[in-house]
Structures are given as C-alpha cells and as structure tokens.
Chains A and B, each alone.
Chain A
Amino acid sequence: MISKPELFYFMRTNKLLCFFLFQIAFMALPLKSIGQVKLSFVPTIGGAEISLDKEYLLKELGKVTFTKLKFYFGLAGDTSSKSYFLIDLEKKSSCLVEFPLQKNSLNNEFAFWCGVDSFTNTSGVYMGALDPLNGMYWTWQSGYIGIKLEGQIRSMNGDSVSFEYHLGGYQNPFLVCYPVAFKNTKSSDLLVGLDLGRFISFAYQNFPKKVMTPGQDAYLLGKIFSESFYLLDNEK
C-alpha cells in the first residue's frame, strides 16, 4: 500500500494524469444504477402461458404450434451494445433479464425497444447478444433480424401451413425497432406478457405466411408484434 504523503506526492508530480483519472471517474458517476430491474417475458395465448412445440387452440383459425420465438430487447435511450438482450424461448433462462434501473425511468415508467436500432445495425460486428453467430443476422445483406417467429397452423379441416416471420430492417421508412413502454409500474419486478395469439391471428389473416426480408410487411408486422406486449396483472 502507498501512504498518504506518497499519494499526494504522486498527485503533485502527475497532475495531468490525475486530472484525466478524475475526469473518467466523474464521467462514470451518473451511470451508476439506482437499483435492479427484473423482467420476465411470458408468451401467451388467451392470457395463458405457452411453450414451444405444443399445439394450442386459436379460435377461428385452428391449432397453432410455435417452433421458434426469438427477439431482441433493448434498453431505451442507450445505443451501446451492452443494452441488448436476446430473448429465445428455447432457452428459458434468456426470458428473464436483469438490468440496472436507469435514472430516467424513475417515475414508474418503464420503456424498452423491440428490435435493433439503426445505429447498431450499421456499426459493424458486435459480440454477446448481438453476435451474428446467434442466427439473428442476415448474411446476404447487412442487418439484424429483430424478431423471429416460426411455426405452423393446422386448420379445422386438417391441412397444415407453416409460417416464418423474420422481421427486421434498419433503413427508413422500414426500420423495425419499436418502443414499448409501461406506465405506473408498481415494482421493479415485472412480468411482461407477449400475446402471440393476437399477433399470429392477425398476421396469418392479413399477411403472407413468409416474411423474411425488410420492407413494408416486416415493418407493419414488427409494429403489431411490439404492440402485443402487455403487463401481466400478477405483479409482485
């Protein structure tokens, strides 16, 4: 350990260095968190939780099976790669995310993004949740697939049709990156439902069964998907 006089001596002789060190400490200060938020995503049909590879009744359409659900969840107001999580229903643990509560979300308002913002989409290679290895990056053109939903619907008369929605796009006017906000959240322990029943009924009846490139369809479907999040009542 160094003694106090030694420290002062060091500071006197290395004024510039100390100045920079203090600067860095100052800049880091406001980023300090004020608590942790725990958020679980729960995909639902008719309010009941669902899982992959099981059949569920969808009122007028028949029976639906989801084989894949993956999407990006980003912390609003922040474009650094650290603020992205990849939710993958195949990996249960990824459906629970924890992050520090940011200053601007103090007034019981909580906001995130669904999809990947265009800055991140155009800034080269990232690791972690955004690693192209996760299968959420198009290769024949640049850009993240913000939302991936695959499965099939078996109609009442027995024939089954598969659907594949790979929704993304970073160029205006078809950017797929939507804000999702909840007001007056009572705790920092949130259960967020994702009404897949609503989404798939709408998508299936109004859109092609395969949407895999950026454009108008992906843009609209992404919007509907992002509107399917809701706060589950059983807030702890």
Chain B
Amino acid sequence: MKNRGLLLFIGVVCLMSFIVKDTYQIPKAWPEPIYPIGKNELTINKVYLGRILFYDPILSVNHTVSCASCHSQFNAFTHADHALSHGIYDSIGTRNSPTLMNLAWQPYFMWDGAINHLDMQALAPISHPKEMGESLNHVLQKLGASKRYKSLFYKAWKDSIPTTETLLKSLSSFMLTLVSNQSKYDSVQLGLVAFTDQEQRGYALFKKHCNSCHTEPLFTNYQFEANGIKVNAHLNDFGRYAITHHPKDSFKFKTPTLRNVEYSFPYMHDGRFESLNEVIQFYASSSSIGDKTKGRTLHLDAKEKVDLHVFLLTLTDKQFLFNRSYGYPMELNTKE
C-alpha cells in the first residue's frame, strides 16, 4: 500500500514535470521557479488574455490607467518618466515601479515584499486609490459585461464569466512569460561569445563587490538588504519593517535585479538616481554599504567605475525589450 502510494506519487510528479516542460522553458543553469506552474498551466489563450488585460485601462476606475502605464516594455516594464509612480487623476505614489521580469523565480513582490504570491499582485494596483482606484467587484462586472472579454475568457478558461481566480491567473500567465535571459552576459555564459577585456574586468569587480546581493544568474538574492542610501525625509519609507515590524528590517528593501538595468532608470525604490553613473558614484562613496562581506567602503578608481558600468550594460537583453509578443496588443485598437 505504502509502495503503491509512492509509485502513484512518482507518476504524478513525472506527469507534472511534462506539463511544465512543455509550456515553460527554464533557462539552463537557472534554479527551479518558485511560482507553482502546475497550478496555472500556461496556455496561449491565457497568456493572450493576460496581455490584453495588462494593456487595457478598463482595469482602472476612469479607464485612463493600465498596468502598462507604470510598467512599460521599453523600460523593462518599469516607468521612466517619473521617479515615483503616477496613477489616476495624476496622483503620485510613494515608490518607483520595479521592473517586471523573471517573476516566476521571485518569492515575494513589492519593494518591501508586501505581496507574497504573483497571483495576488494585481489586487494591489487595482484597488489602490492612487493607482487604478477600482474595486475587484466592479472590475469583474465591467469585464463580464464586455463582449470582447466574454469571448477571451471563454477561450482561456472555458467560462465566459470572469472570476477573481481567472482574472488574476490570466494576468500572472502573461507576466510569467516575461523572461529575460538573452543578454550578452547570457551568451557569454553559454560560451557563444566572449566579453571584451573591459567587460571582463567589470565582471570581476562585480563578482567581488556586488554579487553577494545582486546574485547571478538572476542578479538578485531576493533578500531584503540595506545598501546604504539615505532615508528620504519626505517619504519616510521604512521598507521591510512595515511588513515584519522587526527592527532589523528597518530601511531594508528587496534587492532589485540588475538585468536590463541600462533601461530601468530611474533607480532605487524612490527613483532617486537618474543614471547608472550616479548609482556607481554612490556605491563608491563613503555612505554606501561598500563590500558587505568585508565591512568596508568600496574603493573604485575612475577606470574601475567605467569597467563596472560597461559590464552592467552586458545585462541588456534587446530580445526582451523589443519582443513583440510582450507588446501592446493591436486588438485593443479595435472597437468591440
């Protein structure tokens, strides 16, 4: 009986791994994803529905703001025009929108980890008075009354009436496809091309000073860290502390990935730095955490700063930034 149970278990696991393999490619040498893809099998129809939802301002109360308003593809799905997020009626939020990529590997979301599951993420902007100002109930009503969405939901879920689950899982489906693993760095890892000497020097500096937090291959350790930036007195953002109430978490923020960092300006949770130069300048200054493991500030001379900068540019993934299947869906231009 016990053995049979085990056999059955193994059978089920094998079956599930087939499903994952077919629909979701895990890049070589990357860890297993955290998102339970077995519970939300990706299909073309779900991903397409998620993409339409992502770009449709119908999710906001006055039909002016979509997810893409704050997460635009050309900036690796963050937004470039404001340091802090910009929602309905021109209200300004308190944080810079993060990039969206490789979300299947991310254990928690938001700068302070307030959200613990990708499926639950969309509830936050939808109901935030300064972001989309809607209610879940009303969004479901609007979608349920729309001819376009009835047919899209039917195709994706065999049920034309949208529910919390199908709405949220569709958005997740689209976001899960946002995988960036085609940068020069990745090609070098695969042995397809080589770094230039300058990039190689930058890489060495990176491994020495940055990799403990911005850990390869995802370029984040997904931990909450303090990198030494000074508290913004206007925002008084306590970071992770607001969630755990633990003093050790004061002013700690989730380490952001550095993939596509060339395009994800402005930088930090409050968008305080405009350029990578400023960021590197900061890390080389006395106020930065410096090298975590050695507990001293990091000294970079002018040449090293440039080398490090040049290495960061190898994390740019043009295939990702210009991938048509992530872009604005033309269907939204047609009247339903």
Contacts and interface: CB of A to CB of B under 8 A. Distances in A.
A133 B115 contact: no
Contacts of B295: none
A141 B119 contact: no
Contacts of A19: 4
Interface of A: 19-20, 23-24, 26-27, 121-127, 131-133, 137, 139-143, 170-171, 174, 215-216
A124 B120 contact: yes
A215 B1 CA distance: 45
Contacts, number: 74
Contacts of A143: 116
A236 B153 CA distance: 49
Contacts of A174: 245
A123 B243 contact: no
B136 A132 contact: yes
Given A23-B5, A122-B117, A127 B163 contact: yes
Closest 8 pairs (CB-CB, A-B): A141-B114, A124-B119, A142-B116, A139-B127, A139-B123, A124-B117, A125-B119, A23-B8
B252 interface: no
Interface string B16-42: 000000000000000000001001000
Given A133-B136, A140-B124, A142-B117, A125 B164 contact: yes
A170 to B, nearest CB: 8
Contacts of B124: 139-141
Nearest to B243: A141
A216 B1 CA distance: 46
Given A125-B165, A139-B127, A27 B5 contact: yes
Nearest to B245: A215
B120 A216 contact: no
Contacts of A140: 114, 124, 127-128
A23 B4 CA distance: 7
Contacts of A27: 5, 8
Given A20-B11, A124-B117, 6 more contacts: A20-B8, A122-B117, A141-B114, A142-B114, A171-B243, A174-B245
Given A125-B120, A139-B126, A133 B164 contact: yes
Contacts of B7: 23
A133 B144 CA distance: 15
Given A23-B5, A139-B126, A141-B114, A124 B39 contact: yes
A127 B165 contact: yes
B244 interface: yes
Nearest to B8: A23
A216 B245 contact: yes
B210 interface: no
Interface of B: 1, 4-5, 7-8, 11, 36, 39, 110, 114-120, 123-124, 126-128, 136-137, 140, 163-165, 168-169, 243-245
Given A133-B136, A139-B128, A140-B124, A125 B168 contact: yes
Nearest to A24: B8
A127 B244 contact: no
B6 to A, nearest CB: 11
16 contacts: A23-B8, A26-B1, A124-B39, A124-B119, A125-B117, A125-B119, A125-B165, A125-B168, A125-B169, A133-B136, A133-B137, A139-B123, A139-B124, A139-B136, A140-B127, A142-B116
A123 B5 CA distance: 25
Nearest to A118: B116
A216 B244 CA distance: 10
A16 to B, nearest CB: 9
Contacts of B136: 132-133, 139
Contacts of A170: 116
A124 B171 CA distance: 13
A27 B8 CA distance: 10
B164 A131 contact: yes
B41 to A, nearest CB: 14
A216 B7 CA distance: 45
A143 B1 CA distance: 38
Interface centre among B1, B110, B164 (most CB of A within 10 A): B164
B120 A142 contact: yes
A171 to B, nearest CB: 7
A143 B276 CA distance: 36
